[in-house]
Chain A
């Protein structure tokens, strides 16, 4: 039987015991358990209560009972949520050293998450990525709005381009070049002039989908954008805008970031650190 650690939740929270061994688990088998104010279990005994809910099928294999094609597809997703007290409030080098001591007042540590910004009307969200990270040199996201980078995978972006048909250049009898852009026109100069006509031209538009970078890159950039927004808004003074831009610049040029001498962070480690600075 799997039981989630009670210390991971706030008092008064509900958790669900998921019984997985030797039973057929149905939706009705999810049993809420309440914690009291001291984060201790109530008088209910997990084992006995859970046992009362088990419907033994006689099968030895673990199986989740669903219906139709859902059985062979994606059955269940447990979304990740940060546990209380797990927010990191140190610079990258401080994160490595594990130094949690503070002199004077504790650092302000109010890093918001991507979902917080998505539900806000922060004016910074209409910036394009290159404005926040001036050294960026990737056309697949340089001109993306910060707001469009907060949900992964990104929605595809369409680039529109306006094209004008080629123009017709003619030389009339007098040797001058005439330039016609649209419609027809005529020129008369004395009796020897040539009546000229140009074909009708019109501008055309074409569109192309800008390819998105790999998913891991999208996740990394999302966290960098959130870190930038947090820094600009003053929520995370321990992580300056310059440091965030340095992280991006170094990753862009070398694929990794070195928070301190001898240490190298790949994209996954950078994501892990930035994720921990956000509530």
Chain B
């Protein structure tokens, strides 16, 4: 099962260094996202992906502690569920 950004979502956002302000035009909410969440969204914009693939794709950009292990997987899964609850991503 892969995740994807919701179609027709115009990425109205501004970024400052590793933080991203994102306006969700469907819900009308505005979100301030940290580096990992912002990178997950940008990766999912390229193509649908699952948690494992995201960890691999994001590993070069993350601090050394963000390696392929169970803790990272749980964190990414939690982040994906949070982004889903906010209506930013959905299952593909």
- The answer to whether A78 touches B30, judged by C-beta atoms less than 8 angstroms apart, is yes
- The answer to whether A215 touches B36, judged by C-beta atoms less than 8 angstroms apart, is no
From B28, B29, B37, contact of A72 by CB (8 A): B37
From A72, A76, A266, contact of B8 by CB (8 A): A266
8 A Cβ contacts from A161-186 to B: none
Q: Is A159 an interface residue, CB under 8 A from the partner?
A: no
- The answer to whether A215 touches B86, judged by C-beta atoms less than 8 angstroms apart, is no
Contact string against B for A residues 140-164, beta-carbon threshold 8 Å, 1 for contact and 0 otherwise:
0000000000001100000000000
Residues of B within 8 A of A61 (CB): 16-17
Decide: A75 near B19, CB < 8 A? Known: A152-B87, A266-B8: yes
Residues of A within 8 A of B8 (CB): 216, 266-268
8 A Cβ contacts from B25-51 to A: 25-37
Q: How many residues of B contact A (CB 8 A)?
A: 29
| Among listed A9-17, A30-38, A62-70, interface-contacting one | A62-70
A69 to B33, CA, bound (A): 12
A272 to B41, CA, bound (A): 24
Residues of A within 8 A of B36 (CB): 69, 72-73
Q: Is B90 an interface residue, CB under 8 A from the partner?
A: yes
CB distance from A62 to the nearest CB of B (A): 5
Q: Is B56 an interface residue, CB under 8 A from the partner?
A: no
Closest to B10 in A: A268
Q: How many residues of A contact B (CB 8 A)?
A: 27
- The answer to whether B87 touches A153, judged by C-beta atoms less than 8 angstroms apart, is yes
Closest to A220 in B: B26
8 A Cβ contacts from A72-128 to B: 72-80
Residues of B within 8 A of A215 (CB): 6, 26, 87, 90
Q: Number of contacts between A and B (CB, 8 Å)? A: 83
Q: Is the interface of B mostly helix, strand, loop or mixed?
A: mixed
Residues of A within 8 A of B33 (CB): 73-75
CB distance from B55 to the nearest CB of A (A): 13
Closest to A77 in B: B31
Closest to B24 in A: A80
A70 to B84, CA, bound (A): 17
Closest to A61 in B: B17
- The answer to whether B82 touches A74, judged by C-beta atoms less than 8 angstroms apart, is yes
- The answer to whether A219 touches B32, judged by C-beta atoms less than 8 angstroms apart, is no
CB distance from B78 to the nearest CB of A (A): 8
- The answer to whether A72 touches B34, judged by C-beta atoms less than 8 angstroms apart, is yes
A sample of 19 inter-chain contacts (CB < 8 A) reads A63-B16, A64-B32, A72-B37, A73-B37, A74-B31, A74-B34, A74-B82, A74-B83, A75-B19, A77-B31, A80-B27, A153-B87, A153-B90, A214-B7, A216-B6, A266-B8, A268-B8, A268-B25, A271-B26
Q: Which residues of A contact B (CB under 8 A)?
A: 61-64, 69-80, 152-153, 214-216, 219, 266-268, 271, 275
Q: A73-B33, A80-B27 are in contact. List 17 more A-B contacts (CB 8 A).
A: A62-B17, A63-B16, A69-B36, A72-B18, A72-B35, A74-B32, A74-B82, A75-B32, A78-B32, A80-B30, A152-B87, A153-B84, A153-B90, A214-B90, A216-B7, A266-B8, A271-B26
Q: Which residues of B contact A (CB under 8 A)?
A: 6-8, 16-19, 25-37, 75, 79, 82-87, 90
Q: Which 5 A-B pairs have the closest CB atoms?
A: A80-B28, A72-B36, A72-B34, A76-B32, A78-B30
